[in-house]
Structure 1
Amino acid sequence: MSTDTDSPPGGNDAPLRSGADRWSATLLRHDLPASVVVFLVALPLSLGIAVASGAPIAAGLIAAVVGGVVVGLLGGSPLQVSGPAAGLTVVVAETINQFGWRTACFITAAAGLLQILFGLSRIARAALAIAPVVVHAMLAGIGITIALQQLHVLLGGSSRSSAWENLTEMPAELLSLHGDDFFIGAVVIAIMLSWKYAPGRLRVLPGPLVAVAIGTGLSLILPGNVERIVLSGSLFDAIGLPEIPSGGWGAVALAVLTIALIASVESLLSAVAVDKMHTGPRTNFDRELMAQGAANVTSGLLGGLPVTGVIVRSATNVQAGARTRASAFLHGIWILVFSVALVSVVQQIPKSALAGLLIVVGIQLVKLAHIRLAHRTGDLMIYLVTVVAVVFLNLLEGVLIGLLLAFALLLWRVVRVSVSATPVTGTDRWLISIDGTCTFLALPKLSAELAKVPEGAHALVELSVDFLDHAAYEAIHDWAAQHESHGGRVEFVELGSAPMADALTGPPVRGQARGLLDGVLRPWRADGNPITTGVAAYHRRNAHVVRPHMDQLRDGQNPHSLFMTCADSRIVPNLITNTGPGDLFTVRNVGNLIPKDGRDNSIEAALSFALEELRVDQVVVCGHSGCGAMKALLGGVPAGPGLGDWLANADAGVDRWHRGHPVGTAAAAAGFDPADQLAMVNVAVQLETLRAHPVIRRTMRQREIAVSGLFFDIGTARVLQITADDLSEISDPDLAVLAAVTH
């Protein structure tokens, strides 16, 4: 039973207080300062977005407060900041124009309920399946639309109802230019664009805030009569319940779905981007979506704009050093305090200053990096069509057109197959290449190319397909049978991951990389003689690939290494050293042993030929785990006739292991069993034997060679380096495969 003396200082609640202290320190040192910075960025943006949407100015402030407080409390993204966003400006303006402001608030609340259902249904990640190029184009289209609208406000007029009208009526607006408004807006644009070049200390202040503040200050001291923001009463006076539509429920439902989808996608994409900016906890997407829905329900009921995650505010939050959601929550509180206590300040802001701010924001939504990426990936047409559709139709139709075009391009890419039949110069042979996804859709092209091959010709069919359906298989097979019946010859080379043989065994499936690896490591799976079956598979799948390389080796070999290893069938030297034909001169025996004093003519001949005739640069001894020879030496496996005499060449290794060889000690510390410890010591001892060998010593006096040891751990497929007294893993892919020990 514990007493007070058993408790830590401060009692049993000291750990709780310690956690609270840490939380307080994080709040004061990081989140509080960050919240002030985000507030200064969010304030002018919220006002500008309200103006651009044609909503009451207070609606932007209400949405900013709700986005900060509600999502800050409930959200699943630790550092994302929510509020009114430029991405919804166009659709909100259309909604207000069609239904009126109060009904638009109802639509916002209903969209929030739909978002909550999305979150409860666990489908948040499905929204991320939208092609990024469509999202990028959607944002660019929104940016262009905002810029076109606000250009009219900048010139002293008012924005038109469509992008086409904004374009066609721009000349008339220029002729009736209001110089005062234009000057203030131009100053704001200039400050926004040049702020990144400001001195370091000055750049601590948010550019949008500085630009609007300077523009407002100039409007107060310069002569002229600029149009300013009008706030009718305080923020609380603007709060009012939404109005339920009296009809047109189909159009209302479409508007609800549009706002819910766009707000959800923008929030989720913003959360993904924010996760890439920090190393803290990752986003819970379903929770974030439900929090966004709750914020939109609240904002709609209070008379605010739709809320979504905003990448500009979120990036500012991360860069300002925020650590928790407290920063987003506090930024909403600061906006509330400002909106209630400093209404008169807001009413001094010129509309043209906010127009200049929004023009820059809109232009920045059109990112050259996105355009270059779309060009590199072949998606530029999708990008351009989506942008034009968003600008000149509407947001929903533009996105749907973009998605349909992206899907059509995807379908074309997936089912596309390249087929060509060309004669091989100087011979009577024809090369038929079939590359891609080969289905019944390829039959017209396939039959046309195959028909080019003349009767009696030798045809090599090179199949590099990842999908082959029965119709395509049958067309190829029937053509081959007919061609051979007329005296021709058809040879198949299958380089892809979808073998022809599988076309008859079941429904077609897309080839897997694992199947291709199985084909390389062990191509035979059929019953019968595995060697002849394997040779047939080699001719079908691999001979054509290695033929050019083997042709270069026909007159001789020039290996760089003598590789001495065990006869165990699980050791494939070229596989574990990533080498090919002509690279390794390989000698194999039971236990990878090198007898002393020239007692084995085979080993002597191999050493002499490799070092003196082939002039290899290094000699490698490679042991492995689970070696039967080592187990026999430890008494685990009885030695058969002749095996005992051979394994006597390993007695020195057994003795050194029993006496505590450093390599054995290191292997034991690494968790290897006795047989594997002995196998590693055996490699180290064989290295000593090699270095004392007359042929090796004579060669070392003439030129530099390397003698090194390896150990292949079969269970983990790891390759370890063995030296005279230690072992280490070879893991750096930039190093040579064989990290040699030179003498």
Structure 2
Amino acid sequence: MSTTKYLQNLKSDLPASIVVFFVALPLCLGIALASGAPPFAGIIAGIIGGIVVGALSGSQIGVSGPAAGLAAIVLASISELGYETFLAAAVIAGVIQIVFGVVRLGVIGYYFPSSVIKGMLVGIGIIIFTKQIPHFFGLDKDPQGDWMFFQLDGETTFSEIGKIGEFISPGATIIAVISLAILLLWSNVLVKKSKVFHLIQGPLVAVVVGILYYYFTQDNTVYGIANEHLVNVPVPSSMDDFFGQFTFPDFSDLGNFSVWITAFTIALVASLETLLCVEATDKLDPQKRVTPTNRELLAQGTGNVLSSLIGGLPITQVIVRSSANVQSGGRTKMSAIIHGFFLLISVISIPTILNMIPNSVLAAILLIVGYKLANPKTFAAMWKAGWRQFIPFIATVIVLYFNFLAGVGVGLAIGIVFTLYQSFKNSHFLHKKEAEVDNQHKIKMTFAEEVTFFNKATILKELDSIPEDTFLEIDVRNTVYLDHDVIEILEDFGTKAKNRNIYIKLYSQRGTVENPDSFIEFFKRKKLQSA
């Protein structure tokens, strides 16, 4: 994307970066706390994830930072190795990720069914929503970064919610309700009234109102907000104090086998989480752009090396930040990069002001993000898509609520069983012919009798390689089963084809259609998709 296009989209990216900044700030601190690391380590990871990974990544809307999914691994590793030796293992993990990218292992992400990806999004949305309910009412015993159902403080998500009545804070609750009202009014009413409300985002207004509420009620013993209900950013007293927060890795214990086990574990889990988030984030992208996964692994590996060298936590692409970016109108990678600079500038220049932001205001923002991810309409759509889509989807949602990787693994296993059942007769899924006819480039793709999500990566690659101003014929006259994942790829491609002046002619057993408005609706009528 050219510099001009980045500048043209800045009016959307700048407000989005502010929202992502306010979402990322407490998560960086909370995940550091949940990981047993210094709070500043989370800030470092957020800054590197925004500026460095954002610049190197091929994703236009993905946002990277410290990962909640790695918190348990990091906590155990720090306890076993010590923090400086753990940082050395994290540096090695980053190098391993770079190797993964060089040998092109990024393609693994394409082999996850869309039902599992959607289940992951919905499951994370439910986790975000339920985890923020206690913070909304001022119960901040559980750190913001503790996303596990069985929490590090001995509670569970449900038991924490059940204790709200015992610890409710009137001041935190009042400003949370006000903030939620502002956010709903902004998104449902005001943005439709004037372009000004697109430029000035509701979350920013909610945060400013929250700071003012704290400032004017801080001496009120009933309706004021106690310090434990506020954001807690380290406040250095001098530049020497600021630079003294950096920690450097200790490479003297590389002969310890546990260091290498930790490095490979972090590299594998971080890469898998990133690839899953890339797949999910691409589905959220209104422009249906495709992130180059090998480049993403290179970017993540580089970010992890740099973050660990100066005392930061491991980094992955994070669906919470990425979805907040999309929901707030972010269009290019500039929103991720700018949010990284906001983190850097804020911890240097205005940490005292940041420490006046109530956690309950940030909880209100995340409640909206969580609801949008776990929208009930998604459940209805997956139910209508058929039981082969719904069962892996709902299994992923339920199990992921208790364990992220287990949820994805269960959903994937169920999806593979269903796919193998449909795929046993399939030998060739695609034939492609190219020709020049009347000075126009013409491509014909013929699909086989059965096409499954195992063919997803190759079909996606073939479609993305089609040049502009091409006449594309897609022949499904011999196809009796077309996997829902492949149909979604065609649906997304149909949107991109209009922008690239690609003319599509689709042949089926029951007729021919030119530039179909919706591949999903077309194939549903033709009953090529198993119910």
Normalising by structure 2, report the TM-score. Answer: 0.64
Structure 1 residues 204 and 342 mapped into 2: Cα distance closer, same or farther (>3 Å)? same
Say whether the 8 Å CA contact 1:134–1:403 is kept in structure 2: yes
Asked if 1:390 corresponds to 2:400, the answer is yes
- Partner of 2:380 in structure 1? 372
Q: Deviations over 1:623-644 (max 9, x none)?
A: xxxxxxxxxxxxxxxxxxxxxx
Aligned residue in 2 for 1:175: 166
Correspondence list, 1:67-216, <5 A? 67-77=49-59, 79-84=60-65, 88-89=67-68, 91-100=69-78, 102=83, 109-154=91-136, 155-159=138-142, 162-163=148-149, 165-200=156-191, 201-216=196-211
Gaps of 5+ in 2: 151-155, 237-241, 428-447, 451-473, 479-508, 518-531
Which position in structure 1 is the counterpart of 2:271? Answer: 260
* Structure 1 residues 366 and 514: alpha-carbon distance in aligned structure 2, compared to 1, 3 A threshold: closer
Contact 1:114 1:260 in 2 (8 A): no
* Residue-by-residue CA offset, 1:382-413 (whole Å, 9 max, x unaligned): 22222221222x21122112211211222334
Counterpart pick for 2:20 among 36, 42, 46:
42
Query: Which residue in 1 is equivalent to 2:326?
Result: 315
Task: Please name the residue that 2:245 is paired with.
Answer: 238
Q: Deviations over 1:572-610 (max 9, x none)?
A: xxxxxx999xxxxxxxxxxxxxxxxxxxxxxxxxxxxxx
Gap change, CA 1:197 and 1:236, over 3 Å in 2: farther
Of all paired residues, the percent bearing the same amino acid is 23
Give yes or no for the alignment of 1:407 onto 2:398. Answer: no
**Aligned with 1:277 (options 270, 282, 287):** 287
- Greater Cα radius of gyration, structure 1 or 2: 1
Which residue number in structure 2 is paired with residue 462 of structure 1?
none
Q: Amino acid of the residue matched to residue 234 of structure 2?
A: S
Name the stretch that deviates more: 253-262 or 101-110.
101-110
Cα deviations across residues 7-63 of structure 1 (Å, max 9, x unaligned)?
Answer: xxxxxxxxxxxxxxx977656x52554553233122101113224425355444433
2:216 to 217, 221, 225: 221
Q: Cα gap change, 1:514/1:42 in structure 2, threshold over 3 Å: closer, same or farther?
A: closer
CA distance in 2, matches of 1:579, 1:262: 42
Secondary structure in 2 matching 1:163: coil
Alignment of 1:692-703 (within 5 A): none
Aligned to 2:363: 355
SS at match of 2:248: coil
Paired amino acid for 2:130: L
Match of 1:311, SS?
helix
Q: Which has the higher contact order (CA 8 A, sep 6+)?
A: 2
Specify the SS of the correspondent of 1:84: strand
TM-score (norm 1): 0.47
Q: Structure 1 counterpart of 2:401, which letter?
A: V
Structure 1 residues 621-632: aligned runs within 5 Å: none
Q: Is the 8 A contact 1:32 1:330 kept in 2?
A: no
The 5-angstrom pairing of residues 564-643 of structure 1 reads none
State the distance in 1 between where 2:310 and 2:234 align.
16
User: Is contact 2:98–2:297 with CA below 8 Å preserved after alignment?
Assistant: yes
CA distance in 2, matches of 1:100, 1:185: 35
Rounded to whole Å, the distance in 2 between the matches of 1:120 and 1:262 is 18
What residue is the counterpart of 2:497 in the other structure?
none
Matched residue type, 2:296: E
Looking at structure 2, the residues matched to 145 and 351 of structure 1 have their Cα atoms a distance apart, in angstroms, of: 17
Q: Which residue of 2 aligns with 1:445?
A: none
RMSD across aligned positions (CA):
4.1
Match of 1:584 in 2: none
Give, in angstroms, the shift of residue 120 of structure 1: 0.7
Change (3 A) 1:410 1:23: closer
CA distance in 2, matches of 1:315, 1:169: 30
* CA 413–350 in structure 1, closer or farther in 2 if over 3 Å, else same: same
Q: Report if aligned partners of 2:54, 2:64 keep a CA contact under 8 Å in 1.
A: no
Contact 1:107 1:256 in 2 (8 A): no
- Aligned to 1:215, the other structure's residue is in SS state helix
Deviation at 1:328, TM superposition (A): 4.7
Structure 1: segments with no counterpart, 5+ residues: 1-21, 416-436, 438-465, 468-495, 499-512, 518-577, 581-730, 735-743
